[in-house]
Amino acid sequence: MPFLRNRDILVVTGCDESHFDLAEDLFASFHEFYPGACDIAFINFGTQTPPPGIGGRATMQVAMPPPPEFSKRFGYYAAYSGAKARLPMIFPGYQLYVWIDSDCWFQGADSLPRIIAQAQKHEIAIHPEFDIHYLNYPTPSKRTATIYARNEADNLTSMPLDKPMLNAGVIALRHNSRVWALWQQELAMLHVKFQQGQNIYFSDQIPLHKLIYLNNIDIGTLRATDNWQTYACLPLANLTKKKLVLPTPPHEEIGIIHLAGKTKYQMMHMNGHSFGLRYRDFQKLAREVF
C-alpha cells in the first residue's frame, strides 16, 4: 500500500529529558529508513531543551512542560496532559497521524507503510498484546488490573478486562476518526475524578483500551513485528545480519522495537558478544567485524 502524499501524514513522538537519548535513536532510525517520507514532530514533556539529535531532525516541536502541581505518583504526564488524544489539535492540517513512543525505534522500512495502510482502512491501527510469543504474559496483566481497579472502581465489572491490552505505543488514526473525541472524553473523566479526590492513575493506554472495546471501534490490527514488546518476549539477534528477529521460525526481521520497561537497559550475550537492544547498539554492532 503506497503512502498518501507525504504532506498528509505526520509522525509524532514525545518525552521528557529523561528519555531524550531514546528519542534521538527513534529520530535517527526514522531518518535512516524513511528520509523525506513524511513530517515528524516532537512534543517536549520536560523542562530542558532537546539535543540536536531531536531538535535538528524534527519538522516541528511543541513544548508542553508539566505544571508545578503534577507529580509522577499520579501516573504519566503525557496522559495527564492528554496530548496523544489531541494530536490533530496540536498539529492541525494533516490527514493521518502516527504516534510512536520515544522508546521505540525502526529497524527497517516496512512497518510504517503497513501501519498507515491499516489506519486508512480502519478507525485506528493498533497492536493487541496478544501473540504466540507472549504466552507468559497474562491477560489482564497485574498492572492493567491495578490501574483499572483504581480508575474504574465504581464500574469495574463492566470493564473489558478479559480483552488483550491494546498497546498505545504505536498507533495511527485518520484526522476524522471518532476515537479522538472518545479518547479526550475518557481522559477528561479521569481529571474530574482526580479533582474529586479519587486515587486516579493517569494512563492514556487504559482509557484507549476501554473505549475501543466498549464502543466496538473498528481496529486495524498491527502484528507484533510492527510493535515488538520486548518486556513480553525478548527477540532473537541475527548476528550475521545485525538484526533483531522473531524468536521462532522463519525468524522475520522485526520492524519496530519497543523497549518498554526495564528492557531499555537489557543486554544480550551471544557468541562472545554483548550488546544492548537500542538502535545505537545495533549501529555499533553493524560496524564490528566478526
What is the mean predicted confidence (pLDDT) over 141-147? Answer: 95
| C-alpha–C-alpha distance, residues 108 and 248, integer Å | 19
Cell of 84: 496523544
Total number of residues shown for the chain:
290
Give, in order, the Cα–Cα distances in Å from 180 to each of 6, 49, 161, 175, 186. Answer: 22, 29, 22, 8, 10
With beta carbons less than 8 A apart as the criterion, state whether 255 and 111 touch.
Answer: yes
The larger pLDDT score, comparing residue 208 to residue 283, is at 208
Asked whether the predicted pLDDT for residue 4 surpasses 60, the reply is: no
What is the mean predicted confidence (pLDDT) over 58-65? Answer: 97
Where are the domains positioned within the chain? 6-226, 228-287
Give residue-wise pLDDT tens across range 7-58. 899 999 999 999 999 999 999 999 999 999 999 999 999 999 999 999 999 9
Q: Which residues have CB under 8 Å from 30's CB, separation 6+?
A: 11, 40, 57, 106
What pLDDT score does 289 carry?
A: 55
Asked whether the predicted pLDDT for residue 140 surpasses 50, the reply is: yes
Give residue-wise pLDDT tens across range 235-249. 999 988 889 999 999
Percent of the chain with pLDDT over 70: 98
The larger pLDDT score, comparing residue 183 to residue 282, is at 183
What pLDDT score does 271 carry?
A: 79
CATH of domain 6-226: 3.90.550.10
Candidate from 82-86, 137-141, 191-195, 269-273 with smallest mean pLDDT: 269-273
Percent of the chain with pLDDT over 90: 87
What is the mean predicted confidence (pLDDT) over 148-155? Answer: 96
What pLDDT score does 2 carry?
A: 44
